[in-house]
């Protein structure tokens, strides 16, 4: 009996880690990256692009890879625990607890997600000054670069309300 409780607790922790390390990256692509790419594309100058079209390819490759890893690990857990339903249930309950834990942090309007986007997608920006500011995570320099490019910075850089 004690072993069953320990195994269930370990799979609960594994489920939470599965969500935190893998599924969260998959969700990040849909809730932060895609809306931010849309903002960058809507701010394009008349003939010049602000961000490369390769950014879309990168995000869809990322979605595909994280989906395969996520589903693969879930199927592996279900396969290995096929005779013990309580183990895979505790694994998925751990994943659901992970979802609940991070439910309010999925938008690009959180500073951490915005800076994570900037540190991942700076390489697709054509303007050197903006690319450097995004790489370094300097929001004030990003605003300056947007002003120089005559792009409305409020369209791209969200207002971070609840963060210091």
Rounded Cα gap, residues 70 and 25, in angstroms: 10
Rounded Cα gap, residues 24 and 17, in angstroms: 10
Which DSSP letter does residue 108 get?
T
Q: Please determine, for residue 164, whether its predicted confidence score (pLDDT) is greater than 60.
A: no
Overall average pLDDT of the 18-44 stretch: 89
Q: Please determine, for residue 46, whether its predicted confidence score (pLDDT) is greater than 50.
A: no
Return the pLDDT at 20. 93
Return the pLDDT at 92. 93
Structure tokens at 145: 């670069």
Work out whether the CA dihedral 14, 15, 17, 18 comes out positive or negative. positive
DSSP 19-86: IIIIIHHHHHIIIIIHHHHHHHHHT--SSS-SB-THHHHHHHHHHHHHHHHHHHHHHHHHHHTTT-HH
Model pTM score: 0.81
Q: Please determine, for residue 156, whether its predicted confidence score (pLDDT) is greater than 90.
A: no
| Local confidence band at 48 (pLDDT 50, 70, 90 cut-offs) | low
Overall average pLDDT of the 51-70 stretch: 92
Enumerate residues 6+ apart whose C-beta is below 8 A from 38: none
């Amino acid at each position: 009996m004690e072993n069953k409780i320990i195994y269930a607790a370990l799979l609960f922790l594994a489920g939470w880690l599965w969500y935190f390390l893998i599924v969260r990256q998959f969700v990040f692509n849909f809730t932060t990256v895609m809306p931010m790419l849309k903002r960058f594309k809507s701010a394009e100058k008349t003939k010049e692009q602000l961000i490369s079209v390769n950014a879309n390819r990168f995000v869809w490759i990322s979605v595909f890879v994280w989906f395969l890893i996520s589903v693969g690990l879930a199927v592996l857990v279900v396969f290995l625990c096929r005779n013990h339903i309580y183990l895979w249930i505790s694994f998925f309950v751990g994943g659901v607890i992970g979802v609940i834990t991070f439910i309010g942090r999925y938008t690009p309007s959180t500073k951490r997600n915005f800076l994570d986007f900037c540190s991942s997608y700076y390489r697709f920006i054509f303007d050197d000054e903006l690319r450097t500011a995004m790489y370094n995570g300097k929001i004030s320099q990003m605003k300056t670069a947007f002003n120089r490019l005559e792009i409305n910075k409020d369209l791209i850089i969200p207002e971070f309300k609840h963060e210091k």
